[in-house]
Amino acid sequence: MEVRTRFAPSPTGFMHIGNLRTALYAYLFAKANGGKFIVRIEDTDQGRYVEGAVDVIFNTLKQAGIDYDEGPGKEASPDSYVQSERKAIYKKYAEELIRRGGAYYCFCKGRDMTDGGTVKYDKRCYRLSKEEVEARLARGESYVVRQNIPETDGVSSYTDLVYGEISVAYKDMEDAVLLKSDGMPTYNFANVVDDHLMGITHVIRGNEYLSSTPKYNLIYDAFGWERPQYIHLPPIMKDKERKLSKRYGDANFDDFVKKGYLPEAIVNYIALLGWSPKNNEEMLSMDELIRLFSVDGVCISPAIFDEAKLRWLNGNYIKKMTVPEFIKAAKPFLDASKVGGKYNYELLAPLLIPRVEILSEIPSLVDFLEEYGPFDLSLFDHQKMKTNAALAKTAIEKALPAIEQMQIWDMTELHDLLVREAEAAGMKKGQMLWSFRIAITGRASTPGGATEMAELLGKDETVRRLKFALDLLENA
């Protein structure tokens, strides 16, 4: 039997982290078992449809490196993978389910249509005679199709591959609407019909569906269809009490990408939210995730989303980047900073790679290059190296003439020059280099050392800043 899994999102907004994890696990399970991964758009609730949301779904999957075998744009059959385009299919199977006794026409309106809550629908339309049903249909009366839950004391049971045996009593189930009056199916019906017709062997979804799956199984049974196997996933929590949610911020994949997290790091981290590889490795490529993924590693306990852990993981991904890879990923953040287009990114990249955890930190690390101006002279003070403004004035006065005479702006030569001038002035190398760095940056913390900052600035700008700093010191 070929393993076939599916991801069936509703186009109601951005890609929530929980949805992306469902897609990822379904993809990993299919690929780990040599199977197929299908994408289906469940857009039957037109009232919640968000324009552009379908594009977000597919762009997110592409960024995450999750490729699908069948779905919109990759049709392997004449049928659509978009539910709103499959109304005729659902009507056909709803009528078949009625003939089989698994559903019935319901003509009730308003408060008589009550579903859920503490008041269950009383099955009054189930008790209508065949003749009355046919007459009301002939008159063109509006109707819905309801599932017919058995009126016995039995239970519907199944075995989930993560949670084990799950049973729900018939008396606790509702005769839910399967087909709405506009001909659109509800999730209760469409997901069963589509999963069967698309040959889905393993349904992977959140554990909020654990208790409703038994009523879906009754539909499978009424049709005489084979049930799929189920893999329900634990929730992703913001903390011990709250689920990760949009209202708490940063619940969407796109939120994290915009903050400067790498898609591959996000996917790696999401894979570990509810699943553990047997080798306990934490940095895993997509190929490694596919090779290692198994249901045995899926946990029952809720997973806590720890952004600090994601930052750490993202920083490790950045540290492994080559300079060209980093520039490609960081360019939007570099371009948006104050240094955008003004400095050599190939010089900046090696300084930033070991210091950045998320790419959105870049502007705060480099903007000082364009923010130079009067600064607090107490920055020259360094207790350990015993530097101060007076010593800095001496250091700059000593080094500046020699720097101005440099013919080639070579950082090795500049470093050696500063060391020589420090010795000539009777000061330590560290005192000279600290004074020089503060003078040309006006910052105590920079992404690189003294000569690295000078290389970025170039000779003319370095000399200009040294003179500016010297003027500040002389007029203090």
Cα first-last separation, the chain: 83
Tokens of 456: 């970025």
Q: What is the pLDDT of residue 260?
A: 96
User: Rounded to the nearest 5°, which phi and psi values hold at 147?
Assistant: -70, 140
Helices and strands of the chain, counted as H and E runs: 17, 11
**Under 8 Å CB-to-CB from 130, ≥6 apart: which residues?**
none
CA atoms of 444 and 218, how far apart (whole Å): 69
In which residue are the tokens 């599932």 written?
Answer: 147
Q: What length is written for the chain? A: 476
Tokens of 160: 């989930």
Q: What is the pLDDT of residues 311-337, one digit of tens each?
A: 999 999 999 999 999 999 999 999 999
Which ranges in 53-114 belong to alpha helices (H)?
Answer: 53-64, 87-99
Low-confidence ranges of the chain (pLDDT < 70): 47, 49, 75-78, 110-118, 245-250
pTM, full prediction? 0.89
Amino acid at 57: I
> What distance lies between CA 52 and its chain's CA centroid?
18
Q: What is the pLDDT of residue 112?
A: 55
CA atoms of 220 and 211, how far apart (whole Å): 16
Packed helices 411-424 and 389-404: angle between N→C axes, nearest 10 degrees: 130
Q: What is the pLDDT of residue 249?
A: 54
What is the number of other CB atoms lying within 10 angstroms of the CB of residue 376?
12
Q: What is the pLDDT of residues 43-99, one digit of tens each?
A: 887 767 678 888 999 999 999 999 999 999 886 665 789 998 999 999 999 999 999
Q: DSSP labels for 228-266? A: PEEEEEPPEESSSS-B--GGGS--BHHHHHHTT--HHHH
CA atoms of 414 and 449, how far apart (whole Å): 12
Sheet architecture: strand order including 164-169: 164-169, 155-160, 229-233, 202-206
User: Rounded to the nearest 5°, which phi and psi values hold at 348?
Assistant: -70, -40
CA atoms of 381 and 387, how far apart (whole Å): 5
Residue 125 and residue 147 in contact, taking contact as beta carbons nearer than 8 Å: no
Q: What is the pLDDT of residues 431-453, one digit of tens each?
A: 999 999 999 999 998 999 999 99
Residue 277 and residue 301 in contact, taking contact as beta carbons nearer than 8 Å: no
CA atoms of 48 and 10, how far apart (whole Å): 9
What is the number of other CB atoms lying within 10 angstroms of the CB of residue 29?
22
Residue 202 and residue 5 in contact, taking contact as beta carbons nearer than 8 Å: yes
User: Rounded to the nearest 5°, which phi and psi values hold at 165?
Assistant: -75, 125
Per-residue burial over 404-425, b if 16 or more Cβ lie within 10 Å, else e, is eeeeeeeeeebbebbeebbeeb
Residue 204 and residue 231 in contact, taking contact as beta carbons nearer than 8 Å: yes
Per-residue burial over 450-471, b if 16 or more Cβ lie within 10 Å, else e, is bbbbbbbbebeebbebbebbbe
CA atoms of 435 and 85, how far apart (whole Å): 70
Catalytic residues: 246
Residue 291 and residue 32 in contact, taking contact as beta carbons nearer than 8 Å: yes
Q: What is the pLDDT of residue 39?
A: 95
Tokens of 224: 């005489």
Q: Residue 275: helix, strand or coil by DSSP? A: strand
Q: What is the pLDDT of residue 428?
A: 94
